[in-house]
Amino acid sequence: MSLAENGSFSMFGKRQAEVTKPALDWSKAEHGFLLKIFGDWQVRHVRRIAKEIKKLRCGTGKAGNNQLLIDMSGINSLDTAGAMLILDMKEYLTAKGFVADVINAREADKILFELISRHPREKISTEKKQSMLLNLVRDLGETVVSVGRDIIQITAMIGEVTTCILGLIIRPWRFRFTSLVHHMEHAGLKAVSIISLICFLIGAVIMQQSIEQLRAYSAEYFSIDMLGVLALREVGVLLTSIMIAGRSGAAFTAEIGSMKMREEVDAMRALGISPVETLIVPRILALVIALPLLTFIGNMMCLAGGAMIAYQMMNIDLQSFVERLNDGVDIRHFYVGMIKTPFVAVIIGIVGTLEGMRVRGSAESLGVHVRASVVKAIFLVIILDAMFAMALTSMGI
């Protein structure tokens, strides 16, 4: 007898050494079925073996005709991964109603089966895949639960930070002024260059596009008014906040997360040192002080970029540009932009430090929470800016 093209057995029943790829042969026997497996059942062939197992069309076992023998005489070599697949396949067939048994296994393979059976392993799933709609509903539910959890934790962190600040007002000698200055330097002073460049370029782009669009109506001088309102109310604070969320917020998460991984935060608690007072409060206060100053610089750089484009495209010098800006833009627009900055700073600081405190003891966890910190902070900044914009506009401010 010889098998088909996979040919693990010759007509004399000898194994052909040149066959190495794993394969299965399903056939009927006298009192049931015979499943021959042959080839190299090793970890390098796991995907191929899994595909072959999925191709089995064995139906379900019936009483009196449900005996199934798994013949291992055609196995060339077997490692742990292959043995696990054989045992999983046996359990899969047993669940189908067959009385499955392994025959012609070598002594070394039997020992390997015995060692594997002592430990739990992942079984071959026989459940049907859920529909895309069910997966969508499940993901939506998980997102809603996650958002609710984040809101609760952010609110709790705000309350804890507020309590800590009130305690520092009563006991000012506990305040870490050196830490505050350090974080002001890193979150504020060292961010001036990148924020100035970004705001200058965006201001130039806004001015250029405004002139091009208004020129058709001979109203290009109103582009100065448009730039002034946009830069002072929205663009300056929004660009600065997004840059700080991606720069300083991620840095806060990475710094505190690294301390969590090295168990330094737990050591601080064991020594009676409050992590909120030591790590979180100085960072948040540094942002509250630095962000308004950075926003002011961003506003001025937006206007400077617009002034450069106005000179190039409309031949308006700096003095005329400033005069037009004073006539067309009210000071309240500047106040509207600046009043948002402390709230935005608190949100960025809370999210960045909270995600850092969530880090567990692995580099993967640190990467996940740094990414989450940036995404959540930018999202909340945009939401907060939109809420302020709509509320203040509806009040006529």
The 10s digit of each residue's pLDDT in 257-287 is 998 888 888 888 888 888 888 899 999 999 9
pLDDT of residue 64: 57
pLDDT of residue 128: 55
Over the stretch 208-265, which tens digit does the pLDDT of each residue have? 999 988 888 888 888 888 899 999 988 899 999 999 999 899 999 999 999 888 888 8
299 pLDDT above the threshold of 50: yes
| Pairwise CA distance, residues 371 & 392, whole Å | 32
Of 5-14, 31-40, 221-230, 380-389, least confident by mean pLDDT is 5-14
Of 5-14, 157-166, 221-230, least confident by mean pLDDT is 5-14
Question: Stretch 115-125: mean pLDDT, rounded?
Answer: 64
342 pLDDT above the threshold of 90: yes
Of 9-23, 363-377, 382-396, least confident by mean pLDDT is 9-23
Of 41-55, 75-89, 153-167, least confident by mean pLDDT is 41-55
pLDDT of residue 295: 94
| Pairwise CA distance, residues 366 & 372, whole Å | 10
pLDDT of residue 60: 60
113 pLDDT above the threshold of 60: yes
31 pLDDT above the threshold of 70: no
Return mean pLDDT, the chain: 83
pLDDT of residue 306: 92
pLDDT category, 10, cuts 50, 70, 90? Answer: very low
pTM for this predicted structure: 0.67
Domain(s) labelled CATH 3.30.750.24 in the chain stretch across 23-117
Contacts of 21 (CB under 8 A, 6+ apart): 6, 39, 40, 45, 48
Contacts of 326 (CB under 8 A, 6+ apart): none
Task: Classify 23-117 by CATH class.
Answer: alpha beta
Smallest CA-to-CA distance from 295 within 243, 223, 253, 349 is with 243
